[in-house]
Structure 1
Amino acid sequence: MAQEASANFSRVPILDWSLLSTPESRVKFIEQLRHALINVGFLYLAHPPVAREDMDALIQYTPRLFDLPQEEKESIRMANSPHFFGYSRLGAELTKGKTDQREQFDFGTPYESQWKPGDPEYLRLWGPAQWPKEELIPGFKETYLRYLAQVEQLSYEFIGLMAEAFEIPEEALAPFFAGRTRPKPGILQHRSKIVKYPARKEGESDQGVGPHFDGGFLTFLLQASDHPGLQVQNLSGEWIDAPPIPGTFVVNIGKALETVTQGLARATSHRVLSPPPGSTPRYSIPFFQNISQDICVGELVLDFKPEILKLKESRGPLGAVDSVNYGEYGQYPTGYVNLIGRVKSHPDVAQRHYPDMFKQLFPDGLPAQGSAY
C-alpha cells in the first residue's frame, strides 16, 4: 500500500488498463489508482476498453458538428429541452465572473423521461437528447451512441476498481446506481458534451472555461484535438498541464464521489485555456457519470478501514483552490443539486421549463449570461 513520498503532484499520472490482464500487474494498477484517487484526483487512462475506431470516428465528426449551418445548430438549442440537452452558442456562460469562450452541444445516454406532474422537478433533468438531422451529418448519432455505451460500461468497471483500491465491497456503491454497481443501459442517464474552444483574439481573455469542479462521480474526457489547454490545480494552487495523449482518457473525480468517500477520493479544481491567436480550435468530449437522482450523498457516506482512511493525511492540508462550485453536495438530493447547477448555468432554459426556480434564482429577470458560480 505504498504511497509516493510527496503527495503534492507536478504531473498527472498515466495508468495503463492493460495491467489488469494479469494478477501480478493488476496489483500494480490498483496501487497506482489508489495514489491517483487520493493525491491527484486526475489520471490518464491508456488502452481503455473502448474501441479506438469509435474514438477516432467521433473525433473526426467533431469539427463537422460545429461546421453545421448556424440555423441548424440553433434549431436544437438547449432552450428547447427541459433536460438541458442541445446547442449553446459561444460565450453563453460565465465562470467566476468571466466569459467562457466555448461553443458546445450537450448530449446524453438514451433515457425515456419518467417525470410526471407532482414529482420532484429534478426528475425532469433526465430525458431524450436533441440530435442534429441525420442527413446533415450521416452516422454521427449512431457512432456517438455506440461510443457512449462503451464509456458507460467503462465507468461502472472503474467504480469496481476504485472499490478494490479502497478495500471496500463493490456492493457498498450499489445504492448510488439504482441498487446495482453495474446497471443495465437506460436505468440511469449520463451526460456528455462536445466542446469547441476557438483560438482567442489578440488581447482577449484566455479563459476557455474557468476553474471548476465536476459534479457526479467520475468524468471521462476524450481530448479530441492535439491542443494543450487543460490544467489541473495541485495542492499548492499551481496549475499543472494535462496535454492530450492520443488513445487515452483523462479521468477525474466529481464532487459527489469526494463527498461519499469522506474526502478520500479528491475532486480537483481544473480549467481550460483557449488556444493562442492564429491557432485552430481545441475540441474535447467529456462524459459525466451520474448517480441516482434521489440519493443524498451526505446521508450515504462510505465506511473505510482506519488504515485506508488515514492515507489521505499523507497528502497534507489542501491549499486554497480557485473552484468552489457544487458545495451543495451532502445537503440535498443529487438531482436537486444538479438542477441548481443547470439552472444557474442556463437561465434561458430554466425560464421556459422551470419558471419557479428561475424566479427564485433570478428575481431581476433573465441575465445576459449564465453562471454556475
Structure 2
Amino acid sequence: MAANFSSVPVLDFALVSDNATKPEFILQLRHALINVGFLYLSNHTVSQEVTNDLIDYIPRLFDLPQEAKNQIFMANSPHFLGYSKLGAEFTKGKTDYREQFDFATPHETQWKPGAPEHLRLWGPSQWPDEELIPGFKTTMEIYLQQVQALSYQFISLLAEAFGLPSDALNKFYDTDELMQHRGKVVKYPANDGSLTDQGVGPHYDAGFLTFLLTASPHRGLQVQNLSGQWIDVPPIPGTFVVNIGKALEFVTRGLARATSHRVLSPPVGSTPRYSVPFFQNISLNARLADEVLDFPPEILQLKELRGDPVQTDSVNFAEFDREPSGKVNLIGRVKSHPDVAQRHYPDLFAQYFPNGLPKQVSAY
C-alpha cells in the first residue's frame, strides 16, 4: 500500500504566515489529512506562557483532596463535565487506566423542556474550589479560548488543502455564543502490574479536529496505520498532535482520515503521564448526511491512490448518516458514562442499558 505511513509528519505553522511558503504547508497538510489522519503542529499561535502555566497546574489538580474532586463529580452534570475517577471507563471490556477532568469553553445551555435532548449536552463546566487551586480556572479558560481560535484558523487551511474555498466548512458551526468546545486534563498513572497496559483503548474521536497537548515527556500515544500496525507518536515539545475526527471523515466522504489510536500506560515504576486533549465540535444540530462538499477530481483521486485501511476494532460514532451531530455525541457519552445518563437521560439510559447500570461499559 503506497500511501502507508510509519511515522507522523511534523508541520511548521510558521509557513502559513508567508505567502511564499504557505503553498508548501497546504501541500504537507493535504498529505497528512488524506494519508495519515494525524500530524504534529509546531510554531503554533497558542501562548507558550499559558501552556507552561497550565502544565504546572496539572499535578496540583490531581493532588487535590478526593473530597474536593468528588464535589465536581461528572454525575452531577447533564453536560458530562467534571471529574472521573481512576478506572471509571472501559474500552473493549478492559479498564481504561486513567483519571480525568472534563472542562469546556463557556456556554449557556440552549435546551428547554420539549427541545431535543442533545441540546443539553452543552452547558457550564464544574470547576474545583478556587481557594484550593487559585488561578487554575482562569488559566484553563484562556488556554481553551486560544486553542479554539487556532482550531478555527486551522479548519480554513484544511478546506484549502482539499481544494475548497477557505470558508467552505463554516456552515458546520454556529455563531460563537451557540458553540462549545471541550477539553480534558488526563492523568495516566504508571502500570502497577495488576492490569493491562491500556491507558485508553483503541478508538476514534467524534468531532472535526482534536488538538492534543502532551503535558509530560512520556511516550504512550500510538496510531494505527493503513495496514493495522501500531505506530508510536512520541512527545515533541512545543507542538500539538492534531488528528481528524469521525465527523470530518464522514462529511468529506472518507477523504480526511479518522485514524484509530490508543494510549499505553507508563511502565511500572514510572511517573504519571499527563495530557490535555481539546476537541473541536461542530453545531449540535448539524446533519452531515444532508451536506455535500464538491471536491476537485484531482483531490478525490488522492483518496483512490491511498486505498482503504484495514478494518479496526474502533467502531464508535457510526450514526452520522441518520442523526444530528449532537445526538451522535450524546450517544457516545451515554455509552461511556452510564451513571451520568441514568441520572440525567433516563430514557436513553434505558435504551442502551435495559438491564440497569452495568459493571463494565465500553467508552467507545
TM range (shorter): over 0.9
Give the residue type in structure 1 aligned to 2:247: A
Are the equivalent residues in 1 in contact too, given 2:182–2:280 (CA < 8 A)? yes
CA distance in 1, matches of 2:13, 2:168: 23
One-letter code aligned to 1:301 = V
1:27-52 C-alpha deviation (Å, 9 max, x unpaired): 11000000000000000000110000
The equivalent of 2:134 in structure 1 is: 138
Match of 1:271 among 240, 262, 268: 262
Tell me if the contact between 1:82 and 1:349 (Cα under 8 Å) persists in the aligned partners.
Answer: yes
Question: Are 1:259 and 1:301, in contact at CA under 8 Å, matched by a contact in 2?
Answer: no
CA distance in 1, matches of 2:350, 2:171: 33
Task: Tell me the distance in 2 between the aligned counterparts of 1:337 and 1:20.
Answer: 34
CA–CA separation in structure 2 for the residues paired with 1:6 and 1:196: 37
For 1:86, the equivalent position in structure 2 comes to 82
Alignment of 1:171-186 (within 5 A): 171-178=167-174, 183-184=175-176, 186=177
Separation in 2, partners of 1:229, 1:313: 31
Fraction of identical pairs, as percent: 69
Secondary structure, counterpart of 1:235 in structure 2 = coil
Match of 1:166?
162
**TM-score normalised by structure 2 residue count:** 0.98
- For 1:37 and 1:321, locate their aligned partners in 2 and report how far apart those are by CA, in whole Å: 19
Q: Is the 8 A contact 1:221 1:249 kept in 2?
A: yes
Q: Distance in 2 between matches of 1:303 and 1:336?
A: 26
Q: Which amino acid aligns with 1:60?
A: D
Amino acid at match of 2:110: Q
- State the shift of 1:173 in Å: 1.3
Secondary structure class of the residue paired with 1:172: coil
1:286 pairs with 252, 272, 277, which one?
Answer: 277
Which residue identity is paired with 1:69? Answer: P
User: 1:83 & 1:63 partners in 2: Cα distance?
Assistant: 25
Matched, 1:300 2:296: no
Give the Cα–Cα distance (whole angstroms) in 1 for the partners of residues 96 and 194 of structure 2. Answer: 15
1:96 CA drift (Å) = 1.0
Among candidates 11, 20, 24, match of residue 7 of structure 2: 11
SS at match of 2:110: coil
In the alignment, the residues of structure 2 paired with residue 218 and residue 325 of structure 1 have an alpha-carbon distance, to the nearest angstrom, of 16
1-structure distance, mates of 2:194, 2:284? 43
Map of 2:308 onto structure 1: 317
Higher alpha-carbon deviation: 42-51 or 166-175 = 166-175
Equivalent runs, 1:92-107 vs 2, <5 Å: 92-107=88-103
CA shift, 1:253, in A, is 0.2
Q: Judge conservation of contact 1:103–1:196 (CA < 8 Å) in 2.
A: yes
Instruction: Please give the alpha-carbon distance, in whole angstroms, between the structure 1 residues aligned to 2:360 and 2:69.
Output: 19
SS in structure 2 at match of 1:201? coil
- SS at 2:160 equivalent: helix
8 Å contact 1:217–1:290 — kept in the other structure? yes
C-alpha separation between the residues in 2 aligned to 1:267 and 1:300? 19
TM-superposed deviation, 1:369: 3.6
Residue of structure 2 aligned with 1:156, choices 152, 176, 179: 152
Question: Quick one: distance in 1 between partners of 2:57 and 2:73?
Answer: 19
Change (3 A) 1:152 1:61: same
- Per the TM alignment, residue 371 of structure 1 is displaced from its structure 2 partner at its CA by 1.6
Matching of residue 354 in structure 1 with residue 345 in structure 2: yes
How far apart in 1 are the matches of 2:252 and 2:38? 16
Conserved 8 A contact 1:212-1:323: yes
Deviation at 1:324, TM superposition (A): 1.0
The answer on whether the counterparts of 1:230 and 1:241 sit within 8 Å (CA) in structure 2 is: yes
Change beyond 3 A, Cα 1:114–1:317: closer
Match of 2:241 among 244, 247, 250: 250
Distance 1:18 1:174 in 2: 23
Unaligned runs of 5+ in 1: none
Shift of 1:203: 4.6
Offset of 1:322 from its aligned partner? 2.5
Aligned mates of 2:203, 2:265 — CA distance in 1: 16
Contact 2:93 2:360 in 1 (8 A): no
4+ runs of 1 displaced by more than 4 Å? none
| 3-state DSSP of counterpart to 2:64 | coil
State the Cα distance separating 1:171 from its structure 2 match.
3.1
Count of paired positions: 364
Deviates more, 1:136-145 or 1:311-320: 311-320
Which residue among 120, 124, 134 is the counterpart of 2:120? 124
